[in-house]
A and B are shown apart, each in its own frame.
Chain A
């Protein structure tokens, strides 16, 4: 009896505490405005929380309102999907790509921001190519944020040791010669790990397909007559990728066995010449020791044919959207617009977060660690003439895209032929077009 009594007492106690703990956040006075972001890194979480709080405070001061902010982080696409199908939607939130925001807009879940975009003159601030990704049927449905591009990183010391010069590796023969040299010297030519992050495969394929021909990719996705994924040009590209895998140039034939962390570790431990990753890579470079940081160089991937020059396939890393259910659209639009402030861009750089896709003052790029500064030089240089390429996650239809990076492993494993792989991609692309997928692919220069 005593024991039962004890248990009941404990249960009551714990229940009260849990109710108290659960209900803590109800003690705010004004309406609650919820911002949901997908960042998980400590520095980024802290910065975003701080910035949004400041923006909300300034809004309250200007308008005499008393909103209180609820900022949550670590909300990936799976969580957002679940929440958007319920009644517990955040007011503004960030999602992964334009394809996602298109899907959400198609289901009527996003707030039409067109009038606010006009009010804040976004069309003058944001890069054209990025801005077009945010529109659905001419209406602005999201704020494109965080542009990232595909580049290739290299180990300066190994490069020197092999007697190579990064600046002069521009063409396919030069690139393959470099990989061969690295391989013979017992280094892994190109490091890539997709075991726990299958999306890593599409990093490389974004480059390769874009380099196959930007105009070709655009027309293929749009379903223009006479263009298909099964075309010879794409088959050649996939064959090229497969040949690198077979020769062991690509992570020693283990690109889908190694995790992304393995790939990073191997690269920073001087086992590989090149590392394939995008312009977000600084997030793992910044915690490194200075000596290790200075070993890293960056460049645009060499060309693979005579059709395209080295360029940077681009993506928008985040789409900040407002829920169509939000009761505070003005605040939502205000907060989104504040993300375009010039003076916070350097703070984003400091924590390795994305930058707003707009012209950013030079002064914001000062005081960066050398490798990051190098990278932004490469990026700004590549974008100087407005030229860019297409990444899969920003521009391709969702199912085709998922098959792209899942199916390629089967090709590398010789489970399916290149033809079968490309045929399936074509089939899915067609299917999605028929089901209403609307490609938004600005023409590259």
Chain B
């Protein structure tokens, strides 16, 4: 008798789960994925963005592979990814840890660190572009204070990508900080108590308790950092329009789609971006399977 009641309940619960999640899934699927299929088909055509599409097979992809612009852009995305996988995440965890241990002023500091995230890319880009100006920017101030060696040619092609990445980092790590604080606060304080009682050092606590507890969050963050590095757009576009030294996949896509009348080619770039992201994601999935075994 009891068992039947339980299984009825489970079945009903399962139905509720389906009824709740499916509409949400469908909403996203219809609005985002279906149109994306449209772009997928477009990548096999020579569509100019406004007229009719003519099927051209995989010629776009073949052209892409041999296109030096594409190779450069792809390389720049990789560089971007490496930058974002290191500094912002480390800062986020470090300061998240410090802040969750601090009592007074936690909210204040959290707000301050998060503030740049609230500024739009257009504004931050414009402001920093003004700072990077070789004639009117901070270099003038740096030289005045005898700090010449820091006064690089910020937006020159060889430095441009990093200069833009710096601005995005300034904007981004506060966001990671907030996510990490959220995760750190879920750690059972009893774990820390028992460690303290056993005489564990600060570093031991971090290594054996903190990091493993937020492991899932870290993995999540690393994953989205990698995936979003592939499709990053706004900061580069606002600051350099993907100019020399800072062309990335998205800016190359944008130019092809809207200024060169090569929407088919641009679509193939979008497809490549998705493929790379899928691969990253699949890689993580495989790793997770391995670790769970």
Residues of A within 8 A of B (CB): 77-78, 81, 84-85, 103-104, 106-109, 194-198, 254, 256-259, 262, 265-266, 271, 398-399, 402, 409-410, 413
Is B134 a contact of A254 with CB atoms below 8 Å?
yes
CA distance A343 to B31 in the complex (A): 50
Q: Report if A81-B129 is in contact (Cβ < 8 Å); known contacts: A258-B134, A265-B136, A402-B259.
A: no
Given contacts A196-B240, A262-B136, whether A107 and B52 have CB atoms under 8 Å apart is yes
Q: Which of B138-195 contact A (CB under 8 A)?
A: 153, 155-157
Main secondary structure of the interface of B (DSSP, over half): loop
Interface assignment of B55: CB less than 8 Å from any CB of chain A: no
List of B residues within 8 angstroms of A194 by Cβ: 243
> Is the CB–CB distance between B260 and A402 below 8 Å?
yes
Question: Is B255 an interface residue when CB atoms closer than 8 A count as contact?
Answer: yes
Verify A198–B52 contact, CB threshold 8 A. no
The answer to the question of B133 belonging to the interface, with a C-beta cut-off of 8 Å to chain A, is yes
Interface pair B50/A107, CB less than 8 Å apart: yes
A84 contacts which of B50, B136, B241, B257 (Cβ < 8 Å)? B50
- Contact string against A for B residues 250-273, beta-carbon threshold 8 Å, 1 for contact and 0 otherwise: 000011011111110000000000
Docked pose: A195 CA to B130 CA in angstroms: 12
Contact A196 B244 (CB under 8 A): no
Contact present for B51 and A108 (CB under 8 Å): yes
B77 at the interface (CB under 8 A from A): no
Instruction: Kindly report which residue of chain B lies nearest to residue A84, judged by CB atoms.
Output: B50
In the A-B complex, the 9 residue pairs with the smallest Cβ-Cβ separation, listed nearest first, are A107-B51, A78-B258, A409-B244, A84-B50, A107-B50, A81-B49, A257-B155, A85-B50, A257-B156
Q: How far is the CB of B137 from chain A (nearest CB, A)?
A: 9
10 contacts across the A-B interface (CB closer than 8 A): A78-B257, A81-B257, A107-B48, A108-B51, A198-B241, A257-B157, A398-B259, A398-B261, A402-B255, A402-B259
CB pair A413–B261 under 8 Å, yes or no, is no
Interface 1/0s, chain B 108-142, versus A by CB < 8 A? 00000000000000000000010001111000000
Expressed in whole angstroms, the minimum distance between the Cβ of B58 and any Cβ of chain A is 19
Q: How far is the CA of A108 from the CA of B240 in the complex (A)?
A: 34
Contact A81 B258, beta carbon cutoff 8 Å = yes
Residues of B within 8 A of A259 (CB): 129, 133
- A85: chain B residues at CB < 8 Å are 49-50
Q: Which of A77, A254, A257, A271 is B259 in contact with, Cβ under 8 Å?
A: A77
Q: Most A CB atoms within 10 A — which of B52, B239, B244?
A: B244
Q: A107-B52, A271-B135 are in contact. List 18 more A-B contacts (CB 8 A).
A: A81-B50, A81-B257, A85-B50, A104-B50, A107-B48, A107-B50, A109-B51, A195-B155, A198-B241, A254-B153, A256-B244, A257-B156, A399-B262, A402-B259, A402-B260, A409-B244, A410-B244, A413-B244
Taken together as a complex, chains A and B put the C-alpha atoms of A410 and B259 apart, in Å, by 20
Contact in complex: A266, B240 (CB < 8 Å) = no
**Complex-state Cα separation, A77 to B157, whole angstroms:** 27
- Measured in the bound complex, the distance between the Cα atoms of B29 and A187 in whole Å is 59
A257 in contact with B260 given A81-B49, A195-B240 (CB within 8 Å): no
Q: Which listed residue (B153, B156, B240, B260) contacts A398, Cβ 8 A?
A: B260
Question: Could you say which residues of chain B place their CB within 8 Å of the CB of A254?
Answer: 134, 153, 156
For chain B, the count of residues having a C-beta within 8 Å of the partner chain is: 28
Which B residue's beta carbon lies closest to that of A103?
A: B261
Per the bound structure, the CA–CA distance linking A109 and B257 in Å amounts to 17
Give complex CA distance A106, B50 in Å: 10
Q: Which of B50, B155, B243 is within 8 Å of A198, CB to CB?
A: B243
A409–B243 touching, CB < 8 Å: yes
Q: State the CA gap A413–B247 with chains docked (Å).
A: 15
Interchain CA distance A194-B260 in the complex, whole Å:
18
A103, B129: Cβ atoms closer than 8 Å: no
**What's the minimum C-beta distance from B70 to chain A, rounded to whole angstroms?**
14
Closest beta carbon of chain B to A103's beta carbon, Å: 5
- CA A77 – CA B49 in complex, angstroms? 11
Closest Cβ of chain B: how far from A263's Cβ, in Å? 10
Complex formed: what's the CA distance from A197 to B259 in Å? 13
Complex-state Cα separation, A180 to B263, whole angstroms: 46
Q: Is the CB of A195 within 8 A of B243?
A: yes
Residue of A nearest to B262 (CB): A399
Q: How far is the CB of B258 from chain A (nearest CB, A)?
A: 4
Taking A81-B258, A84-B50, A107-B52 as contacts, is the C-beta distance between A196 and B133 under 8 angstroms? no
Q: Which residues of A contact B133 (CB under 8 A)?
A: 258-259, 262
Are B241 and A196 closer than 8 Å at their CB atoms?
A: yes
Q: How far in angstroms is the closest Cβ of chain A from B262?
A: 8
Nearest B-chain residue to A409, judged by Cβ: B244
Q: Among the interface residues A194, A195, A197, which one has the most CB atoms of the partner chain B within 10 A?
A: A195
| A256 engages B243 (CB within 8 Å) | yes
CA distance A85 to B134 in the complex (A): 42
Query: Closest approach, in angstroms, between the C-beta of B132 and any C-beta of chain A?
Result: 9
Closest to B69 in A: A406
Residues of A within 8 Å of B239, CB to CB, are 196
Bound-complex Cα distance A258 to B156 (A): 9
Establish whether residues B157 and A413, one from each chain, have CB atoms under 8 Å apart when the complex forms: yes
| Contact A266-B135, Cβ < 8 Å, known A399-B260, A413-B157 | yes
